[in-house]
Amino acid sequence: MLRYTLLRILGAIPTLLLVIALAFVMVHAAPGGPFADDRVVSPDIEANLNTAYDLDDPLPKQFLRYVGGLLRGDLGPSFRYVDRSVSELIGGALPYSLMLGAAAMSLALVLGVGAGTLAALRQDSVLDRLIMGFSMTGISIPVFVVAPALILLFAVKLKWLPAGWSGAPGVGRYVLPVVTLALPQIAYIARLTRASLIDVLGRDFIRTARAQGLGTATVVRVHALKPAMLPVLSYLGPAIAAILTGSVVVEEVFGIPGVGQFFVRGALNRDYTLVLGIVVFYASLIVALNLVVDVLYGVIDPRVRYR
């Protein structure tokens, strides 16, 4: 198990470097420097700016310096927020995003697996059709349509929950954003769970368990659920990516001062270092979380460790 974990960690490093290099090259291959579209400055000032931000060095050298900074947790200065470093900006916004993402992911897992199990056990019943119909709707409707629709219904019309962030302290302000973010994942995980559980319930070892006189509840809980969770586990990587992507929209619509909002602002202001920093940060987070998922996979299914 230790060997497997170490191999996985080693395998993640090149991925991480590739991602950072890709993002770095993309930004630096752009025509014109970061100051090109500002008001016109004299060539002397531009030269000074370029020197101050080390933009005169050859690209490989800049890249090495960037990676070196990364290792120390330094993502460089922001080009638009004067006197703030990218690490500071991300650090300040992170707690909100983390809270939002973790809550949405947990909600998605609990409700998704629950609904999927119910649907699988009552296959082709009215309940099954309802759950699958709902989940198809959930997959199809984009987050940025769900968010305003929920605000319109629960905040504007019914006035049950706050629509925005700033004017509403307390837990209530988390409800709509978390639900919005979790909804498509609930739908997807429910479908995965249903398909996988139906498949597992048809296998021989389940028939054996039933033949031994075990009730449905025991068969599902003890024997079927664990192998049925493998596809769900492998979906967690893409799910995390989807939740991060969705959080950009959710933070924008609900006005949550998280990382996603800085990302959009940065993109609209062309704040190169900020956008690059957030992409690198998110990509690293995803690679790291995927590593965790991979290791968990090895725990649940020992066969993958010996491949």
> Which residues contribute to the site for another protein (CB under 8 A)?
15, 19, 22-23, 26-27, 29-31, 136-137, 139-142, 144-145, 148-149, 151-152, 156, 237-238, 240-241, 244-245, 248-249, 252-253, 263-264, 266-268, 270, 272, 275-276, 278-279, 282-283, 286-287, 290
User: Residue 298: helix, strand or coil by DSSP?
Assistant: helix
User: Residue 77: helix, strand or coil by DSSP?
Assistant: strand
In the complex, the smallest distance separating the C-beta of residue 265 from another protein, rounded to whole angstroms, is 10
Residue burial 105-143, b: 16+ Cβ < 10 Å; e: rest: bebbbebbbebbbbbbbeeeeeebeebbebbeebbeeeb
Instruction: Name the residue nearer to another protein (CB basis): 19 or 206.
Output: 19
In the complex, the smallest distance separating the C-beta of residue 222 from another protein, rounded to whole angstroms, is 31
The set of residues, in sequence order, having a beta carbon less than 8 Å from that of 115 and lying 6+ positions away, is 131, 135, 186, 190, 193
The set of residues, in sequence order, having a beta carbon less than 8 Å from that of 132 and lying 6+ positions away, is 119, 190, 191, 194
Instruction: Name the residue nearer to another protein (CB basis): 13 or 64.
Output: 13
Instruction: Name the residue nearer to another protein (CB basis): 86 or 151.
Output: 151
Instruction: Name the residue nearer to another protein (CB basis): 33 or 214.
Output: 33
In the complex, the smallest distance separating the C-beta of residue 68 from another protein, rounded to whole angstroms, is 21
Instruction: Name the residue nearer to another protein (CB basis): 36 or 47.
Output: 36
- Dihedral sign (CA 143, 148, 149, 155): positive
In the complex, the smallest distance separating the C-beta of residue 17 from another protein, rounded to whole angstroms, is 12
Instruction: Name the residue nearer to another protein (CB basis): 223 or 258.
Output: 258
- What is the rounded CA–CA span in Å between residue 96 and residue 90? 11
Which amino acid, residue 146?
V
Cα–Cα distance list, 108 to 34, 101, 190 (Å): 40, 10, 9
In the complex, the smallest distance separating the C-beta of residue 151 from another protein, rounded to whole angstroms, is 7
In the complex, the smallest distance separating the C-beta of residue 56 from another protein, rounded to whole angstroms, is 19
End-to-end CA distance of the chain: 12
In the complex, the smallest distance separating the C-beta of residue 37 from another protein, rounded to whole angstroms, is 10
Which residue from 194, 189, 41, 174 is spatially nearest to 112, judged by alpha carbons? 189
Instruction: Name the residue nearer to another protein (CB basis): 52 or 267.
Output: 267
